[in-house]
A and B are shown apart, each in its own frame.
Chain A
Amino acid sequence: MDLLSFARGPALKVALAVFCAGVVWRIAAFALLRIRRDLNRPRNSLFKYLGAGLYTIGTRSWPHPEFIRRTGAGEALGYSYHMGLFVVVLLFAPHIAFLGSLFGITWPGLPNSVITVIAVISLTLFLAVLFRRVTSPVIRMLSNFDDYFSWFITMLVMVTGLAATAQIGARYSTLVAVHILSVDVLLLWFPFGKLMHAFYIFPSRAINGAILARKGAAS
């Protein structure tokens, strides 16, 4: 078995199994803890505060005007590289073909040249994110191994992907194999660290937003 077959064969299967089981266990471990019923009379109706929770998913995507001067740039940086990543992952033709082989559906992609430009911009923004993490006293203080390793493994996926696209440093099949192996490692790490925020972000905004709206408080 060559490296590419290994990377997209048994390695990917194991990584996906760990990813799925780990994500389910990580969520179940807290979701199965005691849920306290709020016995205080709500100010708003159930319909209204659940609706407000859903609304919070959108409103927390950007800072309230009172905060924007202090946090707008940082949030713009964060959202920009996330959007770049999504575009590259979901709209790059080889990715679509690969995902199609896994899930059986395909969709139109963007030209390779456009994807390459977006990938380079995203990679640059991702470097800026690391720079910010190590230079901001607040973020540096909050950061731990999880933050840096999650950054590193995501960066590795981006760099190996760009190297494969540009065919730099080795044979194409080897570069693709290394890229897929890096994705395997990312999937293996995913349930153990902060990458889980991909699953948490919308429910977290909605639940906390609904709880605040139940009291008639701003969210």
Chain B
Amino acid sequence: MSDVAVEGLPAQARVAGAMQGFSREIGALSAFRLESCIHCGICADACHYYVATEDPQYTPIWKVEPFKQAYKREASAFAPLFRLFGFKRAVSAEQLEHWQHLLFDSCNLCGRCSLICPMGIDVAALIEQARHAMFDAGLAPKELYDKAAHQRATGQPEASAEPYRDQLIAIGVRFDVRIPLDESDVDVMLCIPRTDIDHYPGAVAALARVMSHLGVSCTFRSDGLIAENYGYYAGGREWQRDISLRLIDTAIACKAKTLIVPECGHAYAALRWEAADLYGKPLPFKVLAVTEFLAQELGAGRLRLGNATTGPTTFQDPCQLSRTGGVTEAPRALMKAMGVDLQEMRNNGSFSYCCGGGGGVVDIERAAPLRYRTMEIKLREIDDTGANTFLTTCSDCRRTFDDAQRHFSWDKSPESLLELVAKNLIDAGAGR
């Protein structure tokens, strides 16, 4: 197992410290969730890792077993009895090293398990919290840790061949669209996944084109540009806060009233549903997913769309946007407005299976064989729709499916819904 050793302390001391920290910081809600589990195992049936492998260790609630153990031993109502009689042993370094595979390599934080629990437990929220303790114990996977450290220090997860500012300008030239950059006193600040800049520049151009078409006062900012948050993936709560703060401070500096998160699921989760808690107060601006913003514009009559000729089309709901983020109807409203012949997958919307790459899993090299195995469920569902076109609104989903296309010699590649919108813009006054 590759992990990141925190210098100074031996492994067991680090683990003990992390588990005590977990128990101290657990809070009433997480404690209640741990207390409520009745060991029914039903959550296994929601998890694509279990469904694909039938391996019981992938049961979602089992992924937090050491943390349940630590809570009962350190902080529960009868913790002294658990310690006195040895009912719950202290969590060992070896145990947590094994759990690194369960918490990072085989969990996308997709939240499907949270919809099946008969006790109503949000299992994914517990797993996310367990990742924090893993980070504190020095057990974040190296790929995620390194990217988080780099992003915290520089604003981007990896060094880029050219500064992203220059790349944005080049995208503007290549796609013949004005890229608003480093402006102040704007209504909207835009951020962008570095995955889009590196792999899907058409999505960057589409975002700029749509905003320009709508006449929105907006800007990208080179001092707060990258939407991804590897601190969120790695479990480093303070690092996640520092990475979010870069965007928050920049949005405040340019006086934006709205921060638009482009097609990136976890960036939306980190900024929309977690950033204010880390910031310590409500954000002084709104955070909207781009599809959410466009659906609002559509509803207000400011956005008009022509018919898209995509043929039978299916749609991949990014977990952090739809299931855990609440942005399920907005993309469907946009597709409906473009007359898209939507062929839903068997499990869709809030119940959709994850692409398999979420939660940082697509970045973890050793996780790839298991990821491919679990992805087969999703690829089969997509194929079963009979759709020729396959849309999504998350760059990590696109990257994961494109990787699957190469691995399986699959005949489909996901396309961006935002790019489809940009191709089908109609002037608001046209046809009136």
Contact of B114 with A75 in the complex, beta carbons under 8 Å = no
A101 at interface, CB cutoff 8 A: no
Q: Is the CB of A38 within 8 A of B120?
A: no
A113 within 8 A of B: no
Say yes or no for A70: interface residue by CB 8 A criterion: yes
Instruction: List the A side residues contacting B120 at CB < 8 Å.
Output: 56, 60, 201, 204-209, 219
A29 on the B face (CB < 8 A): yes
Contact status of A218 and B323, CB under 8 A, knowing A36-B277, A208-B120: yes
A29 to B61, CA, bound (A): 22
- In A73-112, which residues have CB < 8 Å from any B CB? 74-75, 78
- Given A33-B27, A209-B120, answer yes or no on A217-B62 (Cβ-Cβ < 8 Å): no
Interface residues of B toward A: which range?
35 or more
Contact B116 A71 (CB under 8 A): yes
Stretch from A116-124, A131-139, A167-175, A178-186 forming part of the interface with B: A131-139
Number of A residues, CB within 8 Å of B: 59
Nearest opposing residue in chain B for A63, CB measure:
B116
Query: How far, in angstroms, from A118 to B284 measured CA to CA in the complex?
Result: 60
The reply to whether B28 and A32 contact each other, CB–CB distance below 8 Å, is yes
Question: Which residues of B are found within 8 Å of A211, using beta-carbon distances?
Answer: 29, 122
> What's the minimum C-beta distance from B153 to chain A, rounded to whole angstroms?
26
In the complex, the answer to whether B57 meets A33 with C-beta atoms within 8 Å is no
CA distance A75 to B279 in the complex (A): 42
Q: Is A43 an interface residue (CB 8 A)?
A: yes
Q: Which of A64, A140, A197 contacts B351 (CB 8 A)?
A: A64
Determine if B410 is an interface residue (Cβ-Cβ < 8 Å): no
Mask: chain A, 12-42; 1 = CB below 8 Å from B; 0 = not: 0000000000000110111111111011110
Query: Which of A3-11, A142-150, A152-160 makes up part of the contact surface?
Result: A142-150
Contact A71 B42, CB 8 Å, known A218-B323, A219-B115? yes
| A142-B62, A212-B114 given; 16 more Cβ-contact pairs under 8 Å | A30-B35, A32-B28, A38-B276, A39-B277, A40-B282, A41-B283, A43-B326, A60-B117, A74-B40, A138-B41, A200-B36, A201-B119, A204-B119, A205-B119, A217-B326, A219-B115
